[in-house]
Amino acid sequence: MTSVRAHRSVLPILCVAGVVGLGACASMPGLPTLELNRAQANQGGATFREGVGMAVTTPLDDLNLRRQAVPEILIAARAAPYATVGLRRCSDVIAQIDDLDEALGPDVDQPVPATGTGDQAANAALDMVRDTATDFIPLRSWVRRLSGAAAYDRAVQAAIRAGLVRRGFLKGIAQQRRCARP
């Protein structure tokens, strides 16, 4: 009888083969493929290649040997999310909103960049690689607590929430002052 764990460790390999296969099939001559499909497959392969190193080394985060860097703008937002110091001109407000957009990604009122099916497949494969890599740590939740990784993750999430609040606050100020975004 085969175990579920054995099947889980094979699944990421199959996903990797699928993502790589997408790129190979898109580039095979003689097959009727659309240029868009080839571009999506190539983008998916690039996404996977860029993220596989981080996915495989996820246990380093759990052991608190590697930490996600928190942008300075989010640290400042956590310290004072409703501060109005330095917001004299519209350009100051818009500059801070832009900095927060860079750190947090697009807001709900901004268009989200479309991802192709290649990126979706690559992200699914990276999630499986990440999950498989973290399965090697027995009692993972306790390891995260004892190493301090869980507490650090909570601090990062608090900084992100403060950045979201700060961005909403600044957008309210910009709207009140009728600041035009460039």
**What are the tens digits of pLDDT across the range 79-118?**
999 999 999 999 999 999 999 999 999 888 887 666 566 6
Is 130 within 8 Å of 58 (Cβ atoms)? yes
CB burial of residue 23 (10 Å; 0-12, 13-18, 19+): buried
One-letter amino acid at 42 equals N
CB burial of residue 74 (10 Å; 0-12, 13-18, 19+): buried
pTM of the entire predicted model: 0.59
Q: List the domain boundaries for the chain.
A: 4-176
**Does 7 score more than 60 pLDDT?**
no
Q: Residue 32: left (phi > 0), alpha (psi -120 to 50), or beta?
A: beta
**Does 157 score more than 50 pLDDT?**
yes
State the number of CA atoms in the 13 A half-sphere of 16 facing the CB. 16
**pLDDT tens column, 40-62:** 666 666 666 666 666 666 666 66
Provide CB contacts within 8 A for 30, sequence distance 6+.
Answer: none
Query: What are 139's two structure tokens?
Result: 């009692």
